[in-house]
Amino acid sequence: MVMPTTKKFISTASKLPKCTSCNHYKIIQICGSVYLCPMEIIQASYLISSPSVDLCPKPDRPEYAFIGRSNVGKSSVINMLTQKKELAKVSRSPGKTQMINHFDVLGSDRKKWYLVDLPGYGFAKVSQNQRKSWEKMIEGYIRKRENLVNLFVLVDSRHEPQELDLEFINQMGEWQVPFSIIFTKADKSTQKEVANNVNRFMNTLKEQWEELPISFITSAEKHLGGKKILSLVQAMNEEWWEQKGGK
């Protein structure tokens, strides 16, 4: 299976614009690619919860969605990235836990984008009809949302490869959806255990994938991995706005 990755961006430091905050060239390297000095999120606020992709906000800016199984630590990752401890709580409030939750974000590069908190996949404790309804909503969003630049799939680093996670990722390949993997809760196990579980997961993917996706190891508790994720978002934002004519 061919990885539906986003494009390679800037490959040499000489092409990098200076960081707007420090006026120096700064680079972060992820999986062989060089990215801009990572932006910070300076504003983030809840916007809307939608029951279907057709009711989502106007697709006038780049969008990044986060999805994973229940209790994978999605809210903690979102709060870490936005530096707002309570931001993702709104997605867990009654009536919103199984909707498409949009957050309005402004980065330190002065570009606006959407962060989307999607319902978890699996739905073990709901009826078959309800599960099918949620699956249809999630599929509709992932496959039809035209400004979805990247889907971040969250996987619990404490566990060996789980079939449900692997199936979901393989489905993203079938749909040709660009995605990255975020391994969560790295502080809950030893460094060796995390490394072993991540390696097992990626090696399992190798059995079906010609090219592996970009992946991140994170700990919301220790603020690990957030800057690398935001550097990737910034690089993809630059590409998106360039294709749209700059603004």
pLDDT tens digits along 157-188: 999 999 999 999 999 999 999 999 999 999 99
pLDDT at 224: 95
Average pLDDT over residues 16-44: 56
pLDDT at 20: 46
pLDDT at 191: 95
Q: What gap in Å lies between CA 76 and CA 78, rounded to an integer?
A: 5
Least confident of 29-38, 62-71, 199-208, 226-235: 29-38
pLDDT at 134: 84
Given a cut of 50, whether residue 241 has pLDDT beyond it is yes
CB 228 within 8 A of CB 194: no
Domain ranges of the chain: 38-243
CATH class of 38-243: alpha beta
Given a cut of 90, whether residue 26 has pLDDT beyond it is no
pLDDT at 193: 97
Using one digit for the tens of pLDDT, what is the confidence trace for 128-150?
787 788 889 999 999 999 999 99
Cα 22 from chain centroid (whole Å): 27
User: Which has more confidence, 128 or 34?
Assistant: 128
pLDDT at 207: 93
CB 37 within 8 A of CB 89: no
Using one digit for the tens of pLDDT, what is the confidence trace for 61-90?
999 999 999 889 999 999 999 998 888 776
CB 183 within 8 A of CB 198: yes
pLDDT at 45: 95
Using one digit for the tens of pLDDT, what is the confidence trace for 82-91?
998 888 776 6
Max CA separation in the chain (angstroms): 56
Q: Is 3 exposed, middle or buried (0-12, 13-18, 19+ CB in 10 A)?
A: middle
* Helices 128-144 and 163-175, packing angle to 10 deg: 40
Strand pairing report for 41-50 and 33-36: unpaired
What's the pTM value of the predicted model, to 2 decimals?
Answer: 0.85
Least confident of 7-11, 121-125, 162-166, 205-209: 7-11
188: tokens are: 């809950």
User: Which has more confidence, 104 or 32?
Assistant: 104
pLDDT at 125: 67
pLDDT at 124: 59
- Give percent of the chain with pLDDT exceeding 70: 79
- Give percent of the chain with pLDDT exceeding 90: 64
Neighbours of 51 (CB within 10 A): 13
Q: Give the DSSP per-residue string, 54-110.
A: GGSPP--S-EEEEEESTTSSHHHHHHHHHT-TTGGGGGGSTTTTTSEEEEEEEETTS
